[in-house]
Chain A
Amino acid sequence: MADSLFAQLIGLCAGVLLLSAVLLVWRRTRSGNIRLLSLQGTTLAVLVAMIGLHRTSVETLAVAGLVMFLKGYLLPTLLARSALRSDVDRDAPVINPTAALLLVALLAILAYVVSRPLASLGSGPTTQVVPVGMTLVLIGFMLLATGRHAISQLIGFLVLDNGIATVAFLASGGVPLVVELGVLIDVLLVVLILRVLTGRIQTEYGATDLDDLTELRG
């Protein structure tokens, strides 16, 4: 693959990742957010596949396929199933969307400033876009901290995980297959456990608004 085309495609993928994260903050309907999460996972897989093609490494391509299946399809589907059971589709986050969007702008600048030393280490097109991964991590943290419902927090967690994976692939061209497999299965397990937990909370108390769960009962 030609170097300039590779750089442009990496830039485009990073842009889609960033845009999907911003839209996740912007839109607060749960079904829309899950679709955006699926888009983000697929884009991440395309990014990994691009790196794999550029380095002609079969292992990275296999990881790309795995990421595509898990983050583009399986995790969003699992989330969508548990979202189906809850009756409200809208989430009212702790801070309003306007403030959240302006916060995203600040976080993006912060990520850019923080990861500049990291980006200056390498010279390829992949290391230049590392700040995008950092931004995803910070936006994931923000979604995790401001979401009121269990599923919104889970979405935040997955964005955070996408961010970490993005940084790993961009900065070092991916970790060994075994480690990547372990991380992906970890995430899957976390989602499964939290999904069961959400279901339990729902059957027990009727809603998954975590702000209501402030006291212990015997």
Chain B
Amino acid sequence: MNVDAIFLAFLQMVVMVILTPLLIGIMRQVRNRLEGRVGPGILQPWRDLRKLFAKEPLRAPGMSWVQSVGPILLMISSLSVCALIPLVSTIHSRLIPGDLFVVVSILLLGTVALALVGLDAGTAFGGMGSSRHMTIAAMVEPTVLVAIYALSIPIGSSALGAIVRARIADPSSIISLVSLLALVALGIATMAETSRMPVDNPSTHLELTMVHEAMVLESSGRDLAWLELGSWLRLGALLGLIGSLLLPWGMATQPTILEIFLGLFMLIVKLFGLGALLSGMEVFLAKLRLFRVPELLAGSFVIALLAVIASYLLEVS
């Protein structure tokens, strides 16, 4: 059981590293096509990564060790999240704590690493980006926690694997009120956490209101490659988590070859489907004014809290 769980966690990491650049490629391609442009093809993020990894990172005088450690830390945190959450299978062991609180704190570790990288160069853009990023994170992390907590109340366990397994066993709980509210809140939190459209425009490079791009502005070469891959992995992991909660069918519950292949296939379908849907939606959205972002996030937090209250109400009956 332990060996299987460790193997599956490792498999999830490898698969996600391969898949997420393709996911980003698909999202950009969908966006391009919807806007009437040809687009560079879905392999472009992989080409970008190859190019960046071959380049030496340029560091300004005065940059500290944070600039070289931060990107690696972000990458490690994203990889750990990919290993811990149920993506291909719901099997877990004591050695790998797939617990909600562990996952959210590891996510936060990556957020802090990214913000420190932004601050390190001491430029105005990086500082603004980092401070905005932390403002958003301060409201997003509680939302993620509370939303998944709402799902864990009926099951009585905060292990993500157990939540997904309970949903496979009882599909009618997926369209229940609690689950819908929690998923809406989780969806909004994911968009904010990964700097997607209503909160941040992922396709800009020099704008006063950008968040993610402002933080990575001073990074180059390998550093930038790690930062980009780490951020993409976060997006992939969170989308995968939503996919697992929304459509848990086909995920491996037994460590057999057949089930694992089915789980992998379903993961690819869910991830790319959700990605295409998300970027299709983004075409119709305009970026929110920065001062209205807390409003959106407070709204999603309230929805998550209502999900918790509703699950307490329904648990009594």
A125 contact set on B, CB distance < 8 A: 317
Are B316's CB and A11's CB within 8 A?
Answer: no
- Main SS class of interface, A: helix
Are B306's CB and A108's CB within 8 A?
Answer: yes
B136 contact set on A, CB distance < 8 A: none
Chain B residues numbered 52-69 whose CB sits less than 8 Å from any CB in chain A: none
Q: With A and B bound together, what is the CA distance between A137 and B180 in angstroms?
A: 24
Are B305's CB and A105's CB within 8 A?
Answer: yes
Kindly state whether residue A175 has any CB partner on chain B within 8 Å: no
B306 contact set on A, CB distance < 8 A: 18-19, 22, 105, 108
Contact flags (1/0) for B280-317 with A, using CB distance below 8 Å? 00000000000000110011011101100110111011
Kindly state whether residue B153 has any CB partner on chain A within 8 Å: no
Q: With A and B bound together, what is the CA distance between A12 and B181 in angstroms?
A: 11
Are A102's CB and B314's CB within 8 A?
Answer: no
How close is B158's CB to chain A, nearest CB, in angstroms? 20
Contact flags (1/0) for A84-115 with B, using CB distance below 8 Å? 00000000000011100110110011001000
Kindly state whether residue A119 has any CB partner on chain B within 8 Å: yes
Kindly state whether residue A128 has any CB partner on chain B within 8 Å: yes
How close is A111's CB to chain B, nearest CB, in angstroms? 9
Given contacts A15-B177, A98-B294, A125-B317, contact A112 B309 (CB under 8 A): yes
Are A98's CB and B298's CB within 8 A?
Answer: yes
B314 contact set on A, CB distance < 8 A: 11, 128
- Looking across the interface, which residue of chain B has its beta carbon closest to that of A131? B313
Are A12's CB and B299's CB within 8 A?
Answer: no
B177 contact set on A, CB distance < 8 A: 11-12, 14-15
Given contacts A8-B176, A15-B181, A97-B295, contact A102 B302 (CB under 8 A): yes
- Looking across the interface, which residue of chain A has its beta carbon closest to that of B172? A8
Q: With A and B bound together, what is the CA distance between A22 and B184 in angstroms?
A: 14
A11 contact set on B, CB distance < 8 A: 176-177, 310, 313-314
Given contacts A11-B314, A98-B294, contact A104 B302 (CB under 8 A): yes
A109 contact set on B, CB distance < 8 A: 305, 309
B298 contact set on A, CB distance < 8 A: 97-98, 101-102
- Looking across the interface, which residue of chain B has its beta carbon closest to that of A99? B298
Q: With A and B bound together, what is the CA distance between A98 and B298 in angstroms?
A: 6
A123 contact set on B, CB distance < 8 A: 317
Q: Which residues of A contact B (CB under 8 A)?
A: 7-8, 11-12, 14-15, 18-19, 22, 26, 96-98, 101-102, 104-105, 108-109, 112, 119, 123, 125, 128-129, 131-132
Task: Please list the 8 inter-chain residue pairs (A to B) with the smallest Cβ-Cβ separation, ordered nearest first.
Answer: A15-B177, A101-B298, A128-B317, A98-B298, A97-B295, A98-B294, A105-B305, A105-B302
What would 22 A/B residue contacts be, using CB atoms closer than 8 Å? Answer: A8-B176, A11-B176, A11-B314, A14-B177, A15-B310, A19-B303, A19-B306, A22-B299, A26-B295, A96-B295, A98-B294, A102-B298, A105-B301, A105-B302, A105-B305, A108-B302, A108-B309, A112-B313, A119-B313, A128-B314, A129-B313, A132-B313
